[in-house]
Chain A
Amino acid sequence: MDGPALEFRASYEEQYGFREPERYVFKARPGLSAQVVDEISEMKGEPSWMRQFRRKALDTFMAKPMPTWGNTELLQGIRFDDIYYYIKPVERQGRTWDDVPAEIKRTFDRLGIPEAERTILAGVSAQYESEVVYHSIREDLQKRGVIFTDMDSGLREHPDLVKRFFASVVPPTDNKFAALNSAVWSGGSFIYVPPGQRVEVPLQAYFRINAERMGQFERTLIIADEGSKVHYIEGCTAPIWSTDSLHSAVVELIALKGAHIRYTTIQNWANNVYNLVTKRAVAHEDAIVEWVDGNLGSKLTMKYPAIYLVGRGARGEILSCAYAGKGQHQDAGGKVFHAAPRTTSTITSKSVSRGGGRASYRGLVKIHKGAIGSKVNVRCDALLLDERSRSDTYPTMEVDEQDATIGHEATVSKIGEEQLFYLMSRGLTEQDAMALIVNGFFEAFVKELPLEYAVELNRLIQLEMEGSVG
C-alpha cells in the first residue's frame, strides 16, 4: 500500500536537469560527415565490415528525405549541423564505480543507479554521452552463459553473433533515423541469453546526456535463445539546455522459439530532446515479446515499437503510455505484424495531455494471408487535462486473412470537475488530486513495472502536475 508521494516537491531541474562540467577524452566537431563516421569507427577499432556498414548507412541517411508525416513542423527544427555526433567521455569503461570519474559517478548517484544495482537488478549498464562508462553483471548469470555487455564490446567479443543478427531486424534503409543511427551508433546494450536460461531479475541500462546539442545514438541488440527469458529496463534523462539535443536509438529484439523478452522503457528526457527511436522485435514459434513503453519527457517523440510474429503461436504485447505537457508532442503507439497462424497480440495505448501538449497514437496492425486463427486487440484511451491540449489517433489495420479476430476500442475523456471536487473534498490539493487521477489512469502501465519504478513513476507524475494549476 503506497500513497502518492505527496511530499515530493522537487522540479525536473533539480532532480534530473543538473549538469556536470565537460572533461571529455574526445569530442568530435559538430555536424555529420564521412570523416566523423570514419573517426568513430577508427577510435573504436572496428572491423572493416562495420566501417563499410556505417559509410553505406550515412549515404542512405543523406539520400532519404525527412518524414512527410507526423509533426513535420517540429522535425524541421532539428539542426543536424549543430549536433555533436560523438563524445567519448572516458578512456575506458569502469568495472567498479570507483573507476568512473567523480563528476560522472556523481550524476549516476543522484539518479540512484548504484543503489538500484545493489538492491533490485541483475546487471547495470550506464551510458554517458556516447559511451557506456560503467557496466556490471551478476556473477551467477555470467556463469550461466548470459551475455550482457555494451554493444561495442559485444562487437569485439562476440563477432559471430553480432554479424549474424545486427541490423537483421532494422535495416539502415528502414527509415531516415535508423540510417542515421546505423552510421554513427555508439554504446547501447548487447544481450544474449542461452537456451533455457531464465533471467528473473531485470537488467537495466541508463542513458544520460550531459552535453549541450548532444546526439546520442545507442544501439541495442537482444537475442533470447530457445526457451529463455529476460527482462530489460531502460531509463534516460538529460539536463535542460536552451538548444536541442537528439536521441536516436535502434533497438532489435530476437525471441527464438519459446523465448520471452520483456523490454521496459521509462523515457524522461528533458523537454529539449528530440527522441526518434526505432524499436522492433521478431518473435518466433511460441515466443513472447512485450514492449512496455512509457514516454514522459522529450520535445518530440516518434516511437512505435513493432513486433513481427513470424512463428506459430507467437504472442506480442505493446503497452504504450505517454504524457504530453507544455511544448511536448508524444507521437507514440505500436505496430504488430501477424505472419504466422494462431498468433495473438494486444496494443494498449494510454495518453495524458496537459498545458497545450499533444499526444498521438499511431498504430499499425497487419494480418498476413495465412495467419489463420490470429487475434488482435487494440485499445486506446486518452485523457485531456485542459481545453488547450490535444489528442489524436491514427490507427491502421490491414487484414489479408479472413480467419482472424480483431478488436479495436478508443476513448477520449476530460478530467471531470466532479472527480476533482470529490478528491479535493477529502483534503487533497488540486494538484495532488490531478496526480492521483492521472496515476489511476496510468495504473495499467504502472502495475507492469517493478515496485521501485512504479513508485518513481508516481513521483514523476506528481512532479508533472506541479504548477499545472494556478
Chain B
Amino acid sequence: MGETILTIDDLHVQVEGKPILRGVNLEVHAGEIHAVMGPNGAGKSTLVQAVLGHPRCEVTGGRIVFLGTDVTGMKCDERARRGLFLGFQNPVAVPGVSVANFLLAAMGTRRVDGQPQKISIKEFRTALKEKMAQLGIGDSFLGRSVNDGFSGGERKRLEVLQMLMLGPTMALLDETDSGLDIDALKTVAGAVNRYAGSSVGVLLVTHYQRLLGFVKPHRVHVLVDGCVVRRGGPDLALDLESVGYEQLAAEA
C-alpha cells in the first residue's frame, strides 16, 4: 500500500442547517482509484465539495486530513494549492474570462514544497497543447470564455484538462462521466487511467457501471443518505446494477 493521501474521518456536514453527511470514513492511498456511488441526493457532491472546503458545507464533526495535514479548517484555495482538485458535477460559467487566461491564472498558484512554481509561457503552451491533444480538444477552446455556452461534454473535458494541467496529488471527479458520448467517455477514461499513477489518488463519483468498464477502481463505496452503507472491490459496482441502492441499504 502506498502512503496515505486522503483521510476522511467520521465526517459530519450540514448544508444550511440540514445534516447531509453523517459520519463518513474513507481513506485513499497513493496509487489507488476509488469510486463513490449512491442515489441522487445521497450526499456525494456534498462529500467532495466538503473535502475542497466549499463555504456552504459546514463541518459539524470529524476531520479531513490531506498528506498528513488536517485541512478541515482551511480555505478552499489553500487546499487547492496543496494539491487537492475537484472536477465539478456542474462547472459554472465565468463570462469574459478565456480558458487560456483562466488556466494560466490557475497554474500561477501552484506550489512545490510551499514555494511558488515558476512556469514560462512557453512551457505552459507546450504542456497545454499536449494535454489538449490527449483529450481531443481543439484550439478554438482556448479563446472561449470558461464554460460559457459550453455543451455538457465540453464542460467535463475542460474539467479533466484542468486536472491534467494542475497535476494534483488527489483528484476528486464528480460525475465527470455524465453527459459524455461513448467516444468522449473512452478518451476521458484513458486520461484518468494515465493520470492515476503510483503517486496520486483518484476518487470518482459516478452513477454508472459504464465508466467502471474503462477505469478499474480498487475500492467502491456506496453512499446512501449521508452514510457509507457498503464497501467492496470492483464487483460491488456490478452487484449494484442488479440489486439497486434501496435493497443494498436495507441489507446494510
| Residue B166 at the chain A interface, CB threshold 8 Å | yes
Report how many A-B pairs have Cβ atoms within 8 Å. Answer: 90
A428 near B105: Cβ-Cβ < 8 Å: yes
Segment from B21-29, B89-97, B209-217 that makes contact with A: B89-97
A421 near B104: Cβ-Cβ < 8 Å: no
B105 near A432: Cβ-Cβ < 8 Å: yes
In angstroms, Cα B95 to Cα A444, docked, is: 10
A441: chain B residues at CB < 8 Å are 95-96
Nearest chain A CB to B105 CB, angstrom units: 5
| Residue A426 at the chain B interface, CB threshold 8 Å | yes
| Residue A242 at the chain B interface, CB threshold 8 Å | no
A426 near B96: Cβ-Cβ < 8 Å: no
Within 8 A of B (CB), among A404-440: 416-419, 421-430, 432-433, 436-437, 439-440
B75: chain A residues at CB < 8 Å are 424, 430
Task: Mark each residue of chain A from 437 to 470: 1 if its CB lies under 8 Å from any CB of chain B, else 0.
Answer: 1011111100000000000000000000000000
| Residue A4 at the chain B interface, CB threshold 8 Å | yes
A4: chain B residues at CB < 8 Å are 101, 105
A425 near B52: Cβ-Cβ < 8 Å: yes
B166: chain A residues at CB < 8 Å are 426-427
Given contact pairs A417-B55, A425-B86, A427-B109, A1 touches B121 in the complex (Cβ within 8 A): yes
Segment from B36-44, B76-84, B198-206, B232-240 that makes contact with A: B76-84
A427 near B96: Cβ-Cβ < 8 Å: no
Given contact pairs A2-B101, A3-B101, A436-B102, A425 touches B76 in the complex (Cβ within 8 A): yes
| Residue A100 at the chain B interface, CB threshold 8 Å | no
Task: Mark each residue of chain B from 159 to 193: 1 if its CB lies under 8 Å from any CB of chain A, else 0.
Answer: 00010001000000000000000000000000000
Residue of B with least CB distance to A381: B95
| Residue B110 at the chain A interface, CB threshold 8 Å | yes
Q: B77's contact among A430, A439, A440, A443, by CB below 8 Å, is which?
A: A430
| Residue B106 at the chain A interface, CB threshold 8 Å | yes
A1 near B101: Cβ-Cβ < 8 Å: yes
| Residue B108 at the chain A interface, CB threshold 8 Å | yes
| Residue A6 at the chain B interface, CB threshold 8 Å | yes
B96 near A6: Cβ-Cβ < 8 Å: no
In angstroms, Cα B103 to Cα A76, docked, is: 48
| Residue B129 at the chain A interface, CB threshold 8 Å | no
B102: chain A residues at CB < 8 Å are 423, 426, 436
In angstroms, Cα B52 to Cα A444, docked, is: 33
B109 near A419: Cβ-Cβ < 8 Å: no
Nearest chain B CB to A357 CB, angstrom units: 20
Residue of B with least CB distance to A413: B95
B54 near A421: Cβ-Cβ < 8 Å: yes
Tally of A interface residues using CB under 8 Å: 29
In angstroms, Cα B106 to Cα A419, docked, is: 14
Given contact pairs A1-B101, A425-B76, A436-B105, A442 touches B96 in the complex (Cβ within 8 A): yes
Tell me what chain A mostly uses at the interface: helix, strand, loop, or mixed: helix
Q: B106's contact among A1, A421, A427, by CB below 8 Å, is which?
A: A427
In angstroms, Cα B105 to Cα A180, docked, is: 47
Q: B80's contact among A419, A425, A430, A444, by CB below 8 Å, is which?
A: A425
Nearest chain A CB to B10 CB, angstrom units: 24
In angstroms, Cα B83 to Cα A449, docked, is: 37
Nearest chain A CB to B125 CB, angstrom units: 8
Residue of A with least CB distance to B52: A425
| Residue B249 at the chain A interface, CB threshold 8 Å | no
B55 near A1: Cβ-Cβ < 8 Å: no
A437: chain B residues at CB < 8 Å are 94, 97
In angstroms, Cα B97 to Cα A437, docked, is: 7
A440 near B96: Cβ-Cβ < 8 Å: yes
A422: chain B residues at CB < 8 Å are 88, 91-92, 94
Given contact pairs A425-B52, A427-B81, A428-B77, A3 touches B108 in the complex (Cβ within 8 A): yes
Nearest chain A CB to B33 CB, angstrom units: 21
In angstroms, Cα B101 to Cα A4, docked, is: 8
Nearest chain B CB to A276 CB, angstrom units: 30
B76: chain A residues at CB < 8 Å are 421, 424-425
Within 8 A of A (CB), among B110-149: 110, 121, 125, 145
A428: chain B residues at CB < 8 Å are 77, 105-106, 109
Task: Mark each residue of chain B from 1 to 41: 1 if its CB lies under 8 Å from any CB of chain A, else 0.
Answer: 00000000000000000000000000000000000000000
In angstroms, Cα B145 to Cα A418, docked, is: 16
In angstroms, Cα B102 to Cα A368, docked, is: 46
| Residue B100 at the chain A interface, CB threshold 8 Å | yes
B145: chain A residues at CB < 8 Å are 440, 443
| Residue B56 at the chain A interface, CB threshold 8 Å | yes
In angstroms, Cα B162 to Cα A440, docked, is: 19
Residue of B with least CB distance to A3: B104
A6 near B101: Cβ-Cβ < 8 Å: no
Given contact pairs A3-B104, A6-B108, A432-B105, A424 touches B96 in the complex (Cβ within 8 A): no
In angstroms, Cα B85 to Cα A419, docked, is: 16
Nearest chain A CB to B67 CB, angstrom units: 16
What are the 8 closest A-B residue pairs judged by CB atoms, nearest first? A440-B96, A427-B109, A443-B96, A440-B97, A426-B106, A3-B104, A427-B80, A424-B77
A-B contact pairs, 18 of them (CB 8 A): A3-B101, A3-B108, A6-B105, A417-B56, A419-B94, A421-B54, A421-B55, A421-B76, A422-B92, A424-B75, A425-B76, A425-B88, A440-B97, A441-B96, A442-B96, A443-B96, A443-B97, A444-B96
| Given A1-B121, A427-B109, 10 additional A-B pairs, CB 8 A | A1-B104, A3-B108, A423-B94, A426-B80, A427-B77, A427-B106, A428-B106, A436-B97, A440-B95, A441-B95
Residues of B within 8 A of A (CB): 49, 52, 54-56, 75-77, 80-81, 85-86, 88, 91-92, 94-97, 100-102, 104-106, 108-110, 121, 125, 145, 162, 166
Residues of A within 8 A of B (CB): 1-4, 6, 416-419, 421-430, 432-433, 436-437, 439-444
